[in-house]
Amino acid sequence: MNDDELEVAEEEAVEPELGPDDLEHYTGEWVAMREGRVVAHHPGEEELRADPRVQEGDDIFPVGEPPSGFYLINV
Amino acid sequence: MALKKVDVVIVGVGWVGGIIASELTRAGLHVVGLERGRLRGRGTADFQDDHDELRYAIRNELFQNTANETWTLRHNLGEAALPIRQLGSFLPGTGLGGAGVHWNGQTWRFHPRDFTAYTSTVDRYGKSAIPAGMQIQDWGVTYDELEPYYDKFEYMAGIAGKAGNIKGQIIQGGNVFEGPRSREYPVRAQQTTELGALFQKAAQQLGYHPFPGPSANLPVQYKNPDGITRGQCTYCGFCERFGCEVGAKADPTTTVIPVALKTGRFEIRGYSNAYAIKNDGKHGQSVLYFDAAGKIQEQPADIIVMAAYVFNNVRTLLMSKLGQPYDPATGQGVVGRNYCYQTGGGGASGWFTGRRFKRYMGSGALQTAIDDFNADNFDHSGLGFIGGGSITSGSTGARPIQSLTTPPGTAPFGRDWKVAIQKYYASVISVGFQGESPAYQTHALDLDPNYRDQYGNPLVRITFDWEANERKMIAFAGTKTLEIMKAINPDIISGGPGSLPAHYDTSTYQSTHNTGGAPMGADPGTSVVNSYLQMWDVPNVFVVGACNFPQNAGFNPTGTVGALAYRAAEGILKFHKSGAGLV
């Protein structure tokens, strides 16, 4: 791959089309996932757990912002 | 033309390279160390302006230069990997002593369960507790087998701490969850700070078990078994990202490297960038490297030791076609397998009004910790994740650029920000969580097909992202750090269920605890090296470091890396004596 091709590849890769289950869509929310698919999402944990689409065994967690870096975990 | 053959050539002269060199040279072997960076010494010139935060912490004086060599990252196998063009998430060191110069000195032992993570999890929770795709495995060595080497590292480095378990006897005030030690730490624990005391009191109030974190920052003068004497810490607060001008922080340049040099049998070559091991598939013959002039040199040796940072150890094996490369699509192969990181997040912060602490003072490992939620120290039934992490509150110093924090809602710049900084600089406390990073089939290292370094060699490609297990672990951790913060009772609190971003993000510093890629184990089908860090396929090549971790634990890795280095040195000497075969 030459430099021009690399540049094109990089540009194309910078803005990929996000799939429906990409967690980027849910930043700041709680999501429920089952087998890699987002089955429900809500701003809060309680609302999510009350959602009838959510089943026992689903992975439930919040999706956060990129780290702010204040609390440093050190080498 | 090849250079004169030596007994041993070591690639990378940090903690691992220094420890192995000190052990081998004292046993009479002639050793050459190849260091890619400069040979920083202990002279005045090496430490002038040592508290220059801009130079060291922002402009990365002691770290790998990504303009010369970097890594590419993709979050999954279908994504195009792109280069990490600026340091952020992690900070590999370069120059003599490596990351051992700019570390903080937090020196933990992993838990006995960490070394048997797979069997312990299955035994307690059943196979179904391990999520699909997770690839945790046992280390092929037990805590009890490693204990003498942990002990040796701690006495060499002068680790300050308070034991919580000596030969099975639990001792309150130390870490009551730790594996049994053969004896007490060599140096008494650092004195608890006012911030540490607040954390300690709150944790005790909640029924947890606080203790002083183990530290390589000496609170008192110490003479180690090798005859090296170091002075006590001045609590300047410039450990992380900086060298220690008084030598109170143990680093390879103040401990093991001088011991090796004193024998007259250790030669270190700076600006020597190794890239491959010449071999015939069964025997390593020499190390190929670029010298300071960019000229290729060949150093033959009877024994070759890879002691560089995780990425460079793995890259050199892959470039040398040593060991079967790992294929994350199929899970077959070993070199590049089980790349892991450290799962941070879930911390809580608190601000006091009208109460000021001496935050400008501190040392890199001056902290109070609890271990109640690490490893399998708590019942995971019903939690939906395995693993855990350590919870700490540190007094590591508060530098003028990177340690400024304000309560939520404060303007990010301008007059209001300045007023808030003045008001809160000395009035903040933080509680952090450092979690495990399990291995997954699709998390791996390999050679990037597109991007190359300054010499034209392929970069390492990292495939990594956060998975549901860690997301749930961090959410849980956030509730615990918030609980502690509420018990501390500052005027303003920030915290709550912790969260990881949508994808692993390299732009902000998180941890220089990259691990795996050359895992150790008892099965050549799932590991690169045996329990003495000797390659299964090529017995005269040893690969040593955090690259050997089959998965990462909820602690800083250096104590375990040091223990592995001492064990490897023992294995190398056995191999040298026998002349062939696996140790």
Per domain, the residue ranges of chain A are 18-62
Q: How far apart are CA B336 and CA B310, in angstroms?
A: 10
pLDDT tens track for B168-204? 999 999 999 999 999 999 999 999 999 999 999 999 9
Q: Are the C-beta atoms of residues B275 and B289 closer than 8 Å to each other?
A: yes
Mark yes or no for CB contact B349/A1 under 8 Å: no
pLDDT tens track for B358-370? 999 999 999 999 9
> What's the whole-number average pLDDT of chain B?
96
Q: Does A62 touch chain B (CB under 8 A)?
A: yes
Residue B60 covered by a domain: yes
The pLDDT-based confidence of A11 (bands split at 50, 70, 90) is low
Nearest CA to B27 out of B309, B303, B308 is that of B303
How far, CA to CA in Å, does B415 sit from each of B278, B355, B366, B410, B419? 61, 22, 33, 11, 6
How high is the pLDDT of residue B580? 84
The pLDDT-based confidence of A72 (bands split at 50, 70, 90) is very low
Q: How many helices (H) and strands (E) does chain B have?
A: 12, 25
Q: Which two tokens stand for residue B220?
A: 């008192």
- Chain B residues with CB-CB distance to A67 below 8 A: 344-345, 501, 505, 508, 510
Residue B129 covered by a domain: yes
pLDDT tens track for B197-252? 999 999 999 999 999 999 999 999 999 999 999 999 999 999 999 999 999 999 99
Q: How far apart are CA B110 and CA B124, in angstroms?
A: 19
Q: How far apart are CA B79 and CA A24, in angstroms?
A: 15
Total number of domains in chain B: 2
B290 and B398 co-located in one domain: no
- Domain hosting residue B265, numbered range: 1-160+245-342+442-461+510-583
Q: Are the C-beta atoms of residues B349 and B334 closer than 8 Å to each other?
A: no
Residue B220 covered by a domain: no
Is pLDDT at A73 greater than 50 in this prediction?
no
Nearest CA in chain B to A75: B103
Is pLDDT at B406 greater than 80 in this prediction?
yes
B19 and B148 co-located in one domain: yes
Q: Does A10 touch chain B (CB under 8 A)?
A: yes
Q: Does A60 touch chain B (CB under 8 A)?
A: yes
Q: Which two tokens stand for residue B225?
A: 């078994």
Q: Does A15 touch chain B (CB under 8 A)?
A: no
H-state helical runs in B292-408: 310-320
- Chain B residues with CB-CB distance to A65 below 8 A: 499, 501
Residue B226 covered by a domain: no
B1 and B64 co-located in one domain: yes
How high is the pLDDT of residue A58? 97
B119 and B134 co-located in one domain: yes
Residue B223 covered by a domain: no
Name the B residues in 113-172 with CB < 8 Å from any A CB.
none
Q: Which two tokens stand for residue B361?
A: 């003072």
Q: Does B509 touch chain A (CB under 8 A)?
A: yes
B334 and B350 co-located in one domain: no
Q: How far apart are CA B34 and CA B306, in angstroms?
A: 10
Q: Are the C-beta atoms of residues B554 and B374 closer than 8 Å to each other?
A: yes
pLDDT tens track for B277-287? 999 999 999 99
Look up the CATH number of the domain holding residue B87: 3.50.50.60
Residue B137 covered by a domain: yes
* pTM (two decimals): 0.96
Q: How far apart are CA A22 and CA B18, in angstroms?
A: 45
Extended beta strands in B371-440, E state: 389-396, 428-435
CA distance B423 to chain A (A): 17
B484 and B545 co-located in one domain: no
* Across B400-429, average pLDDT: 93
Nearest CA to B568 out of B146, B283, B260 is that of B146
